[in-house]
Structure 1
Amino acid sequence: MTKAATPTEPAPPAASSTAPLSTAPLSTAPSRTMPATGWRSLLTTEGRAARSFRFRVGAAFAVIIALHLIGLGLLSVGVMSGAAGAVSVGVAAVAYFRGLVHSYDFDHVSMIDNSTRKFVAEGRNPASVGLAFSAGHSTVVILSGILVVAGAGIVRTALDESSGVARVLGIIGLSVSGLYLVLVAIANLATFLQALRLKRALAVDPGLEIPPDALTPRGPAARVMTAPLKRIRHPRHVYVIGFLFSLGFDTSSQIGLLILTAGAALAGAPAISMLCLPFLFAAAMTLGDTLNGLMMLRMYAAAHEDPKRKINYNLLVTGVGIVSGLIVGAIAAATLLHDQGGVDLGVIVSVAEANTEYAGFLLAALFAVIGIAAWLLWRRARPAVR
């Protein structure tokens, strides 16, 4: 039991004096592929993907808080400048409320929901889909607000429906929103069909082993359906969609904001304080859109956590998202045909003039009810699963 200690591994050889110095690794030098650390990592796609989900959510809300601080700071400057600045306090509250309501427009909710569904189906976990879309929209809002304050006439021209600028911008906005939503709905249809095939397979064999990526679309048909949006892979791409989408100035909230800004100028409010209106509008809109995006991310991610047990839930939320996207796309197409193409067919006119004022709230509420009901059912069934 008391054997002499015998080394099991030879001692490392001494460094040879003839070995080239270039072969010695420099441990203090960073690798070329080493991602940036800290907040700088958010400037690159790889860096953002490497950060924790909590960190990325915190970064998204940091942007929202910054917009709030800028808006309130500009408002404070106007208030401290005298009585004329007080005019901005009332309209600032209205602008903020309009931005929050605007984030729940039918097209906003549908755009964010369907984009989130697409990313989750591709195995991604983006925390900033809602923020990215809203940031693109906010860019146009803030720039147009600056132009109004500066007295630029191009904004008035863009708001004049009979002008060529308004027609071009309207075509761009409606075409981008309608085409994108139809294409992303078709891409999500591939996920829906995959889930439907899985449900049928489970009906035949309830004990079927389900792999983690069971809901990933497969097959030639899925590749065809997802091909048009193959390059839309990150939230920054959704930013571009949001920017182009808002060029049409076709929403009452966006038009109302510009009218509020122009009215504040006529009331004698300082120019610097008037800039608080687009910033507060953007702050409220990004808050609503980001919360919607995170809610939908949680709902769609839950469907992938246990696809076998949550197959009906996945079919329901995916199906509702697809239908909403197709409806918004149909409305955009009908509006283009009616307003720009002069088509006066009864069906086209009816679809183009459909009232969707409260549809976004109803859609968001429907998803919330589905999510809460599913959570309660899963919680009740948890002991039985054990």
Structure 2
Amino acid sequence: MFRTLLSSNPRALALFSALIFANLAAWGWAFLAFHQSPALMAASLLAWCYGLRHAVDADHIAAIDNVTRKMMQRGQRPFGVGAWFSLGHSSIVVLASIAIAATAAAIKEDLAWFHDAGGTIGTAVSALFLLAMALANFIILRGVWRNFRRLKRGEALDKNDDAATGGGAMSWLFRSVFRLVGKSWHMYLVGFLFGLGFDTATEIGVLGISAASATHGMSIWSILVFPALFTSGMALIDTLDNFIMVGAYGWAFNKPQRKLYYNMTITGTSVVVALFIGGLEALGLLMDKFSLSGGLWRWVEGVNDNLGDAGFVVVGLFLLCWLLSFVNYRLKGYDALVVS
């Protein structure tokens, strides 16, 4: 599927090639700067792995999937969602690394205030965006379910219902939600705001590497190797995730009955994941700001502390839903349904 997707879409192939080149260029920069220091080459590998790891955080997976699914529902082929989200997200790390390099050790002590303020903003934006996208996809899910029931009864499909652009009260109420991200590049701002939190170990790790290098008198250009590796690695994985979603949804949207059946399973999964991750982030923010503890809040704190690992579960869940949906679709023989 991935090879077919690239061969049939020049834009996707160009973007993937550019990201491969960006990763090779970042590693070439690291080798030129640090080839005489095994320790700094190891730090470079660590920064790159941080980027790869951060790309599978649950909020990344949920945001990219929900936006990709929503845009494809409107007939678009959004190959750049993951790349733009990564660039916006990593811009914060790059800017902070430059600030650290420019002011050396002094800023390390003064960064705490920005971490606190940015953490509140970043977490709030992440939670609200995911909850908004969950609402948007819930409206789509409602239309899909209605149309699939019509299909099974042999009735004509409502062409507007599953597109979530009809005139119902819910569509009117959440019309602004559908306009949040209309083009792939809009995800740059979303990713930028997500990144304000500095609340992941990966981002803190890259900043820590930059700070440690600054205190040893390293030039700003050498320090920027670390965020460059972080960015290139994260953008590659986020874009691959985006491509996988486009390919899976492309199969589903190839026929009206596939579109309806597959959407019921994967859209429901998208809604649940977005609500779960966004809800946990919102509850974690309330817990932190109002010093809540005990009972439910202890559980919320524990899950939020391990939210990064949930990204692997989310990826597996989406793949499992796609596989089960595909197998059940074939067994039920839905391809033979007549669409009117």
Q: How has the CA–CA distance of structure 1 residues 63 and 345 changed in structure 2, closer, same or farther, with 3 Å as cutoff?
A: farther
The equivalent residue for 1:180 is 129
Q: How many positions carry a matched residue from both structures?
A: 326
The equivalent residue for 1:147 is 99
DSSP-derived class of the 1:344 partner? coil
What percentage of residue pairs aligned between the two structures are identical?
32
DSSP-derived class of the 1:250 partner? coil
Q: Residue type of the partner of 2:110?
A: T
Gaps of 5+ in 2: 1-6
State the alpha-carbon separation in 2 of the partners of residues 216 and 283 from structure 1.
Answer: 35
CA-based RMSD = 2.8
Q: How has the CA–CA distance of structure 1 residues 122 and 224 changed in structure 2, closer, same or farther, with 3 Å as cutoff?
A: farther
1:215: how far off?
2.2
Alignment of 1:78 with 2:25, yes or no, is no
Between 215-224 and 257-266, the greater mean CA deviation after superposition:
257-266
The equivalent residue for 2:316 is 365
What is the TM-score with the length of structure 1 in the denominator?
Answer: 0.76
Alignment of 1:137 with 2:92, yes or no, is no
Gaps of 5+ in 1: 1-51
**Larger fraction in helix:** 2
The equivalent residue for 2:22 is 67
State the alpha-carbon separation in 1 of the partners of residues 284 and 158 from structure 2.
Answer: 44
The equivalent residue for 1:208 is 155
1:335: how far off?
1.9
1:288-343 per-position Cα deviation (integer Å, ceiling 9, x unaligned): 10011111122223332223245332111111111111112112211221212333
The equivalent residue for 2:71 is 119
Between 289-298 and 209-218, the greater mean CA deviation after superposition:
209-218
1:236: how far off?
1.5
The equivalent residue for 1:58 is 13
Between 335-344 and 376-385, the greater mean CA deviation after superposition:
376-385
Match runs of 1:1-386 below 5 Å: 54-80=9-35, 83=36, 85-152=37-104, 153-154=106-107, 156-158=109-111, 160=112, 163=113, 165-203=114-152, 205=153, 207-210=154-157, 215-217=162-164, 218=166, 219-266=168-215, 271-344=220-293, 346-354=295-303, 355-375=306-326, 385=336
8 Å contact kept, 1:103–1:285: yes
1:201-242 per-position Cα deviation (integer Å, ceiling 9, x unaligned): 234x1x334476662122232232343342421112111010
State the alpha-carbon separation in 2 of the partners of residues 118 and 185 from structure 1.
Answer: 10
State the alpha-carbon separation in 2 of the partners of residues 78 and 299 from structure 1.
Answer: 41
1:244-274 per-position Cα deviation (integer Å, ceiling 9, x unaligned): 1101100111111112223344566655333
1:64: how far off?
1.7
What is the TM-score with the length of structure 2 in the denominator?
Answer: 0.85
State the alpha-carbon separation in 1 of the partners of residues 144 and 320 from structure 2.
Answer: 21
